[in-house]
């Protein structure tokens, strides 16, 4: 059945070579019950691992039923382990979270044989566990666990049963039970190879091989086996198994991987929960970052639109007299004639004057110190300042220097709190004004609160409140963003001509014209930079989160090497294991 020729296995530990198995040649016949004995460290387990296709020898040839197995692929070895060899280990190696029935079913799953629970029940009954099929390993005694392991080894009807110290962890009563089972199996024709260091256990065997330092030192055959299984049968089965072992992944196996993955997740609730939490936080961070980016952009866009579009602001320049900077407008001042002339230039859509100053406002017991701005009717559409409550003032009110005021939100709140200010009378610098509207909130820009303002007709501001006969600045709206630059030039020329400044040393310093479109463009670049920044932070946090998840999965793989080892021993291929872990990770990611 098995034939070893000159098999060696050398472990290199540091500079010393340990010859765990040293030139062993051995034939084991079908139907034999072989006990391998020897002191600890004599190479019994190593030999057993080679016999069981769990390990490859360094030298020598090994054939099963005439088939050389030393050069088979990993998948083919896995298939052979699954179908023609059954393993029983000293530590039982049952999967803790599964019932006896589910443990017994594993080799069937890896063999791709589904719906064969009856077979598992049958084997469990044969080892005397008919009433324990739904129990988990921790609800079973050592002897019972080992019997489950034997049933598991037998579900695929292997030709050979291998047991490494199967009774090493058991009490004497259980030992006898287990050995009885093995003896019965041998009587039914199974080839059994057992490693043991107890001679009582060896007495159940028909052949005893003694090992020392990796070599066979004696081989006594007590009884010629009667129950030979025909080797031809094994030969044809092996050929069949090897032929299909290379086939592509069976999609039906995916369901099994899926089930195993769900089992693993459910049975390690805390670990699964933590992984899912990691994914959740990672994804939430990315979404939050992106949302913040979009929010910031939207907010900046709102502020930008509140500035008005295609807007130029014109104010007198700061002149210097003998190197000393003067107050803005000290030299040149803008007036209504300038405004008139500018409004008649081509491509100018609207013009509004602006006169500003600080005033004290009083209503009942409340008072505030705020900025006042005198403007005309065109200001509202230009600066996106149509009142949300009430109305803006009219041309007639501008002409008649009417005492009406439109309040910014901050001022309205300071004076009126929650009350309705429309129609109320407030005192601005001790003069009574009627509140006719509330401006839309514009928010604070970096330098000041844009809502801390009162708008009044420009004439009222000039002649009734501030005592000015000139205007501080002008807003000019062009037809389109493209013409702003040339418009800027035309306006400068017009003003210089009007004020006869052309022959001054630095005529262009006489007026400052600011282009809002430029400011807007600058702000938009800033926003883009910010979104990119947030985006990259999000990307980094995703990467970090991903690495975290990767680590958890890696640790979980390391922690489960034992489980993986067992699954491989009973016939799982590399792909089966990978599939199980992959499905598990993907499933957790999806849940997260
Ligand atoms: P036994 O099962 O008879 O007690 P083993 O087959 O487990 O002995 O080990 C035989 C020898 O090989 C021992 O000296 C052991 O230290 C060594 N050995 C076993 N496995 C390894 C390994 N993976 N790496 C290095 N040395 C090993
Ligand atoms: Mg051992």
Q: Which of 8, 14, 15, 18 to mutate to test the pocket of ligand 1 (most atoms within 8 A of CB)?
A: 18
Q: How far apart are CA 589 and CA 279, in angstroms?
A: 6
Q: How far apart are CA 442 and CA 460, in angstroms?
A: 24
Element (H, E) at 281: helix 269-307
Q: At what angle do helices 561-569 and 574-591 cross, to 10 degrees?
A: 140
CA of 202 from ligand 1 middle (Å) equals 21
**Which atom number of ligand 1 is nearest to the Cα of residue 44?**
3
pTM above 0.75, yes or no: no
- CB atoms < 10 A from the CB of 166, how many? 28
Residue nearest to ligand 1 atom 21, measured at CA: 11
Among 204, 162, 217, 235, residue whose Cα is nearest residue 26: 217
Give the ligand whose atoms come closest to the C-alpha of residue 39. Answer: 1
> In 384-489, where do the E strands start and end?
389-390, 404-407, 425-428, 431-438, 453-457, 473-478
CA of 36 from ligand 2 middle (Å) equals 11
For residues 514 and 328, the answer to whether their CB atoms sit within 8 Å is no
Q: How far apart are CA 335 and CA 346, in angstroms?
A: 20
For residues 239 and 79, the answer to whether their CB atoms sit within 8 Å is no
Element (H, E) at 131: none
Q: Which residues of 435-470 are buried (b: 16+ CB within 10 A; e: fewer)?
A: bbbbbeebeeeeeebbbbbbbbbbbbbbebbbebee
What DSSP string describes 177-224?
A: HHHHHHHHHHHTT-EEEEE-S-HHHHTTSSEEEEEETTEEEEEEE-S-
What are the pocket residues of ligand 1 if the criterion is a CB atom closer than 6 Å to any ligand atom? Answer: 11, 13, 18, 20, 38, 40-46
**Residue pointed to by tokens 């065109």:** 378
Torsion of CA 304, 305, 306, 309, to 10 degrees: 100
Among 123, 176, 130, 182, residue whose Cα is nearest residue 154: 123
CA of 40 from ligand 1 middle (Å) equals 9
| Tens digit of each residue's pLDDT, the chain (592 residues) | 889 999 999 998 888 888 899 989 998 988 889 999 998 889 999 999 999 998 999 999 999 988 888 888 888 888 899 988 999 988 888 888 889 998 998 898 888 887 788 889 999 998 888 898 999 999 999 889 999 999 999 998 898 999 998 888 888 888 998 999 999 999 888 899 999 988 888 888 989 999 999 999 998 876 665 555 556 677 888 888 887 776 666 777 788 788 888 888 887 888 888 888 877 887 887 788 888 888 887 877 777 766 667 888 898 876 655 555 555 555 678 888 889 999 998 889 999 999 999 999 999 899 899 999 999 999 998 888 889 899 999 999 999 999 999 999 999 999 998 899 999 999 999 999 999 999 988 776 656 788 899 999 999 999 999 988 899 999 999 888 788 888 888 988 888 888 887 766 666 677 888 887 777 777 778 878 887 888 788 788 778 877 877 787 788 778 788 888 888 888 888 888 888 888 888 888 888 8
Q: Which of 43, 56, 211 to mutate to test the pocket of ligand 1 (most atoms within 8 A of CB)?
A: 43
User: Between vectors from CA 110 to CA 276 and to CA 227, what angle results, nearest 5°?
Assistant: 150
């Amino acid at each position: 059945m098995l034939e070893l020729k000159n098999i060696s296995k050398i472990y290199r530990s540091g500079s010393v070579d340990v010859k765990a198995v040293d030139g062993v040649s051995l034939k084991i016949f079908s139907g034999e019950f072989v006990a391998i004995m020897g002191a600890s460290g004599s190479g019994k387990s190593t030999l057993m691992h080679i016999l069981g296709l769990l390990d490859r020898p360094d030298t020598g040839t090994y054939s099963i039923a005439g088939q050389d197995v030393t050069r088979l692929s990993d998948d083919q070895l896995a298939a052979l382990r699954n179908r023609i060899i059954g393993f029983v280990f000293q530590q039982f190696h049952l999967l803790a979270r599964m019932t006896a029935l589910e443990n017994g079913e594993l080799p069937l799953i890896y063999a791709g044989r589904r719906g064969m629970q009856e077979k598992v029940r049958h084997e469990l009954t044969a080892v005397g566990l008919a009433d324990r099929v739904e129990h988990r390993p921790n609800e079973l005694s050592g002897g019972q666990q080992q019997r489950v392991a034997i049933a598991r080894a037998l579900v695929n009807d292997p030709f050979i049963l291998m047991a490494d110290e199967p009774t090493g962890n058991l009490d004497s009563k259980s030992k006898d039970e287990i050995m009885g089972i093995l003896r019965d199996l041998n009587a039914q024709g199974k080839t059994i190879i057992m490693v043991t260091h107890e001679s009582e256990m060896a007495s159940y065997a028909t052949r005893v091989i003694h090992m020392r330092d990796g070599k066979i030192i004696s081989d006594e055959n007590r009884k010629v086996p009667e129950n030979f299984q025909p080797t031809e049968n094994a030969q044809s089965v092996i050929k069949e198994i090897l032929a299909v072992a290379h086939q592509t992944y069976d999609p039906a196996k995916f369901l099994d991987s899926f089930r195993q993955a769900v089992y693993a997740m459910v049975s390690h609730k805390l670990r699964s929960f933590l992984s899912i939490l990691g994914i959740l936080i990672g994804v939430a961070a990315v979404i939050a970052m992106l949302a913040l980016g979009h929010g910031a952009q939207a907010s900046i866009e709102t502020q930008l639109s509140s500035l008005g579009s295609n807007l130029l602001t014109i104010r007198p320049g700061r002149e210097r007299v003998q190197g000393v900077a003067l107050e803005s407008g000290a030299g040149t001042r803008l007036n209504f004639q300038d405004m008139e002339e500018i409004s008649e230039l081509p491509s100018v859509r609207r013009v509004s004057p602006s006169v500003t100053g600080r005033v004290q406002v009083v209503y009942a017991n409340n008072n505030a110190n705020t900025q006042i701005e005198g403007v005309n009717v065109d200001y509202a559409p230009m600066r996106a300042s149509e009142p949300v409550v009430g109305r803006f003032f009219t041309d007639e009110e501008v002409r008649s220097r009417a005492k009406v005021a439109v309040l910014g939100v901050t001022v309205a709140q300071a004076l009126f709190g929650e009350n309705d200010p429309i129609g109320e009378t407030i005192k601005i610098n001790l003069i009574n004004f009627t509140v006719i509207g509330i401006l839309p909130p514009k928010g604070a820009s970096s330098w000041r609160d844009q809502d801390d303002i009162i708008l009044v007709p420009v004439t009222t501001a000039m002649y009734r409140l501030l005592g000015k006969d000139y205007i501080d600045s002008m807003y000019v709206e062009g037809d389109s963003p493209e013409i702003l630059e040339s418009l800027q030039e035309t306006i400068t020329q017009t003003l210089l001509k009007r004020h006869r400044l052309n022959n001054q040393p630095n005529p262009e310093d006489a007026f400052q014209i600011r282009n809002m479109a430029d400011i807007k463009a600058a702000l938009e670049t800033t926003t883009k930079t910010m979104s990119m920044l947030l985006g990259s932070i999000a990307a980094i946090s995703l990467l970090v989160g991903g690495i975290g998840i990767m680590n958890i999965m890696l640790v979980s793989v390391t922690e489960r090497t034992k489980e993986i080892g067992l699954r491989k021993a009973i016939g799982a291929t590399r792909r089966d294991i990978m599939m199980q872990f992959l499905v598990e990770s993907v499933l957790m990611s999806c849940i997260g």
